[in-house]
Amino acid sequence: MTSDVSVGLELVAADAVKKWRQVIGPTNSANAKAQAPTSIRGRFGIDGTRNAVHGSDSAVSSKKETEFWFGGENT
C-alpha cells in the first residue's frame, strides 16, 4: 500500500469524505490530471496505483480504516 513514509490523518467534519475526495481528485492519476489538475493526485500522482494519496470512498470505509490505523473500541 505504501512505497515510502506515510502520514495518517483523521479528518473530522460534516461530509468529510466528500470534501477530502474533492481535494485529492479522481483515483486514477491520468483522470485526475485531466479532470482536476490542481488536486493532489493531479499534481503528484503517477498512475492508477501510485496516485500519491489515499482517501476513504465512503463513511463505512472511513470508519473501518480509521479503526485499523488509529485503534477503536475493539482494540
Catalytic residue (one of 33, 54, 65, 66): 54
Q: What is the 3-state secondary structure (H, E, C) of 55-68?
A: CCCCHHHHHHHHHH
Backbone angles phi, psi at 10, to 5 degrees: -110, 110
**pLDDT tens-digit readout, 13-70:** 999 999 999 999 999 999 999 999 999 999 999 988 899 999 999 999 999 999 998 9
Cα separation, 29 vs 72, whole angstroms:
32
Please tell me the pTM assigned to this model: 0.84
Query: Residue 45 contacts by C-beta under 8 Å, 6 or more apart in sequence?
Result: 25, 28, 29, 32, 33, 51, 52, 53
Is 54 catalytic? The answer is yes
Please name each of the domains of the chain with its CATH number.
Answer: 16-67 (3.30.70.141)
Q: What share of the chain is helix, strand, coil (3-state, %, to 5)?
A: 45, 0, 55
